[in-house]
Amino acid sequence: MSKKDIKLEAQALNAYYGDFHALKNINIAMEEKNVTAFIGPSGCGKSTFLRTFNRMNDYIDGFRVEGQILLDGNNIYQKDVQVDELRKQVGMVFQKPNPFPKSIFENVVYGLKIQGIKNKAVLAEAAEKSLRQAALWDEVKDNLNKSALALSGGQQQRLCIARALAISPTVLLMDEPASALDPISTAKIEELIYELKNHYTIVIVTHNMQQAGRVSDQTAFFYMGELVEYAKTKTMFTSPKDNRTQNYITGRFG
């Protein structure tokens, strides 16, 4: 098997909330069309780290970053980078489903509309494609004008995934996407991630060790703002190198 290209990379990354040193000298490289899971106890910095890849922390007062994040080899923290353009390449799915209080259709095509696409046929086609990719099409195809808020939690989350996919990103960041969902919805999301990795580079933050084991190719363990261990998921779960990793994945703390 040929070695895949590096899609995302962090180099000597430090992040601070005011005086609090949230991420300490992180170095990591993630391959294209792979699923990488970030695990670690609450407050370890995994979500903060995930949000540096689409600069979602920019709006937090007192937050600052040192070092580099490379997307396809380009530093996204460079001055001339347009944040809104970056986020069209790096989509995000949040912990709690957060559809807009609009119809299902309007939710899916939101990203296209703000890019100025008005052609109804184009929008309808994109909506169907994204909803199919997110395994939601069959459930909602007859109710596209229904309010998105009327969907179940699991459906809402798949709608949010469809919404993110509609603008054809190359990277998909998922911040504990199934933590607010029931087991059946969770299973659907996990299946979906498995499908999506054929087309997208996926980074997923999860609290759920089994989930990390099921969906990811690589796993990174964070502890107190440090990247403790980064390895193939199978390797990490069977023979972790670091004591702290071992303690965490065997449930001794966290």
Name the residues that contact another protein, by CB under 8 A.
Answer: 54, 56, 59, 61, 84-88, 91-92, 94, 96, 98-102, 110-111, 114-115, 149, 160, 163-164, 167
| Contact call for residues 130 and 162 (beta carbons, < 8 A) | yes
**For another protein, which is the closer residue by CB, 169 or 240?**
169
* The two three-digit tokens of residue 97, written as one number: 């489903």
| Cα 22 from Cα 45, distance rounded (Å) | 6
Contacts of 177 (CB under 8 A, 6+ apart): 93, 94, 95, 157, 161, 189, 204
**For another protein, which is the closer residue by CB, 53 or 222?**
53
**For another protein, which is the closer residue by CB, 2 or 82?**
82
Q: How far is the CB of 180 from another protein (least distance, A)?
A: 10
**For another protein, which is the closer residue by CB, 102 or 199?**
102
| Cα 125 from Cα 159, distance rounded (Å) | 16
**For another protein, which is the closer residue by CB, 99 or 225?**
99
Element (H, E) at 105: helix 104-114
Q: How far is the CB of 111 from another protein (least distance, A)?
A: 4
**For another protein, which is the closer residue by CB, 202 or 227?**
202
| Cα 41 from Cα 254, distance rounded (Å) | 5
Q: How far is the CB of 86 from another protein (least distance, A)?
A: 8
* The two three-digit tokens of residue 73, written as one number: 């080899």
Q: How far is the CB of 3 from another protein (least distance, A)?
A: 31
Q: Which amino acid is at 168?
A: S
Q: How far is the CB of 107 from another protein (least distance, A)?
A: 9
* The two three-digit tokens of residue 206, written as one number: 């999860």
Q: Which residue has 């998909």 as its token pair?
A: 172
Q: How far is the CB of 88 from another protein (least distance, A)?
A: 4
